[in-house]
Chains A and B, each alone.
Chain A
């Protein structure tokens, strides 16, 4: 079974631009979560989608948004990029068990560099 895939793997943008990252979950997994990983802040939860609905959101500004499609694929968008948005963005997919997220499996990440 194929794992979680993320595209692109690397991105370089300049301040003020916007960016869209894509995540394809493991087949059969309907929940997709996004995380930001930086050396200073570690791994921080951005949001989680299930059945095309955002169920949970972390403490990030409104510049960070996402969506999920009917095939469970998800996209994450960051508008008006800032230097501090440079990070590794990880996507994780999971099954839903008893209405809650089960074990999460991660993709390889997208390395975003903002200049």
Chain B
């Protein structure tokens, strides 16, 4: 069946550092891939998505590229800010099943 695996947290970085949060998936067919972010005390917000191989999703300085050859959708940002501190969820959707979420990666940014 379909599944999503993302790196364990917590991840702690200094402000302006480069961020990578790894996400790999297992799926049949051609799934869509998503990153959601959850700020403290709030629900999940869609951050970006990609719907086919080699697509790049981007938003608020974050990027992720749908890599079919490595079944990955890693989240990156060139220079993080304290306000990026949150929990990040990788997710997979397909016509065969409802959206499947990873376990979440907590990110903390030090000033």
Please say whether chains A and B are actual partners in one complex. no
